[in-house]
């Protein structure tokens, strides 16, 4: 376990957990925390065995958003400092959005502003049913910025994104699933177990296959069908090269021997030994 000032990082084999740890301020992101997140991501990047990164918060908040005092109010009269604090925030968001490992947001409570964005850039979001999501920016006279509008536009429909950005109305974790902001909502008492089960399933998969699946998804949403087919074939050949054709040599061989059913479970390299 590595403890940064307001962020804790634990790496356990294939799984890294980044915990925002400033519960007395609802895990609002002050400049030190933005730097802490960068430092945690750097440490995770150096560990090539990590397949999954879980992001969560301590206490009753996932993340209350940008620290409104430390990031906006206090540095406002110094444009350089104001911009530096914003750049620090958006630069870790860019890194996390493009992160090679699978990212899972475990939303345990309040989820506003930059916290809303943090959940929105993760690949998978598991939330407690009674967590509270919101783009509250309109309530202090601005709009969701720094990537938050992008997240709303890419996860929610136009009608829903605009409704919640324009009204600043919050919604529950249960509603977040219907709105496209979360993958699954569970009772708060079951949140840890639900995330652990999904993480265990992911950790059991081939690391190159996980990474390539993310890359192919990101490219596919920007390409037309014909170009996506070309890209997907090229990526299949690249993945086959990286894994020395493991899917043919091991997985499909095991399927032939009826050792597993790929529609229902993963193959096991152990089964060959
Ligand atoms: N920035 C700075 N401080 C924040 C914060 C933020 N985004 N969110 C919460 N805090 C601080 C509060 O000021 C308070 O500090 P204090 O104890 O020193 O007075 C502490 O966290 C606890 O918050 P409090 O408001 O007392 O808790 P609550 O349970 O009544 O309400 C929220 C929780 C999340 C609804 C409320 O704090 C809130 O609206 N926060 C702002 C959320 C937001 O709009 N974020 C968008 C930022 S871009």
Q: Which residue has the tokens 């990526």?
A: 235
- pLDDT for residue 122 is more than 90: yes
> Are 226 and 143 within one domain?
no
CA distance 172 to 170: 7
CA distance 165 to 253: 51
> Are 26 and 84 within one domain?
yes
CA distance 144 to 9: 28
> Are 122 and 41 within one domain?
yes
Answer yes or no: are the C-beta atoms of 115 and 131 closer than 8 Å. no
Instruction: Answer with the one of 203, 232, 258 that is the final residue of a domain.
Output: 203
Query: Bridge-partner residues for 55, per DSSP?
Result: 18, 105
Q: Is beta strand 2-3 parallel, antiparallel or unpaired with respect to 7-12?
A: antiparallel
Protein residues whose CB sits closer than 6 Å to any atom of ligand 1: 25-26, 28, 64-69, 110, 112-114, 136-137
> What is the total residue count of the chain?
273
Q: Coil, strand, or helix at residue 14?
A: coil
Determine the Cα angle at 32 with ends 7 and 171, to 5°: 65
Answer yes or no: are the C-beta atoms of 272 and 252 closer than 8 Å. no
Kindly report the average pLDDT of the chain as a whole number. 96
Distance from Cα 133 to the centre of ligand 1, integer Å: 13
Q: Which residue of 21, 22, 26, 66 sits with most ligand 1 atoms within 8 Å of its CB, as the best mutation to test the pocket?
A: 26
Answer yes or no: are the C-beta atoms of 157 and 137 closer than 8 Å. no
Per-residue pLDDT tens digits for 185-243: 999 999 999 999 999 999 999 999 999 999 999 999 999 999 999 999 999 999 999 99
> Are 123 and 168 within one domain?
yes
Q: Whose CA is nearest to atom 8 of ligand 1?
A: 64
The model's pTM is: 0.96
Instruction: Answer with the one of 203, 227, 242 that is the final residue of a domain.
Output: 203
> Are 113 and 224 within one domain?
no
Q: Which residue of 21, 24, 61, 64 sits with most ligand 1 atoms within 8 Å of its CB, as the best mutation to test the pocket?
A: 64
Q: Whose CA is nearest to atom 44 of ligand 1?
A: 136
> Are 249 and 120 within one domain?
no
> Are 124 and 259 within one domain?
no
Mean pLDDT, rounded, for 149-169: 98
The count of structural domains within the chain is: 2
> Are 165 and 225 within one domain?
no
> Are 162 and 260 within one domain?
no
> Are 244 and 190 within one domain?
no
Instruction: Answer with the one of 203, 231, 254 that is the final residue of a domain.
Output: 203
> Are 164 and 83 within one domain?
yes
Residue 266 lies in domain:
207-272
Mean pLDDT, rounded, for 12-38: 97
> Are 159 and 241 within one domain?
no
CA distance 129 to 236: 38
CA distance 20 to 28: 9
Q: The domain spanning residue 156 has which CATH number?
A: 3.90.226.10
* Residues near 34 by beta carbon (within 8 Å), at least 6 away in sequence: 85, 88, 89, 92
Distance from Cα 181 to the centre of ligand 1, integer Å: 22
* Residues near 269 by beta carbon (within 8 Å), at least 6 away in sequence: 246, 250
């Amino acid at each position: 376990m590595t403890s940064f000032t307001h962020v804790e990082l634990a790496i356990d084999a294939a799984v890294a957990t980044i915990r925002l740890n400033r519960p007395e301020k609802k895990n609002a992101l002050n400049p030190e925390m933005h730097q802490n997140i960068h430092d945690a991501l750097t440490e995770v990047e150096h560990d090539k065995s990590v397949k999954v990164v879980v992001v969560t918060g301590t206490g009753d908040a996932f993340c209350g958003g940008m620290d409104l005092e430390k990031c906006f109010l206090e540095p406002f009269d110094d444009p350089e400092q104001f911009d530096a604090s914003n750049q620090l925030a958006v630069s870790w968001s860019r890194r996390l959005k493009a992160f090679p490992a699978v990212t899972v947001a475990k939303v345990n409570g309040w989820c506003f502003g930059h916290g809303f964005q943090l959940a929105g850039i993760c690949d998978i979001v598991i939330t407690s049913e009674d967590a509270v999501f919101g783009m509250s920016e309109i309530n202090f006279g601005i709009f969701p910025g720094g990537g938050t509008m992008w997240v709303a536009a890419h996860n929610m429909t136009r009608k829903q994104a605009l409704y919640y950005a324009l009204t600043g109305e919050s919604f529950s974790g249960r509603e977040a699933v219907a709105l496209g902001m979360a993958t699954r909502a569970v009772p708060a008492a079951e949140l840890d177990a639900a995330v652990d089960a999904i993480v265990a399933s992911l950790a059991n998969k081939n690391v190159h296959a996980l990474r390539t699946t993310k890359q192919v998804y990101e490219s596919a949403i920007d390409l037309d069908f014909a170009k996506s087919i070309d890209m997907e074939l090229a990526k299949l050949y690249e993945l086959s090269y990286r894994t020395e054709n493991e899917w043919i040599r091991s997985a499909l061989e095991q399927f032939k021997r009826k050792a597993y059913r790929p529609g229902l479970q993963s193959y096991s390299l152990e089964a060959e030994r």
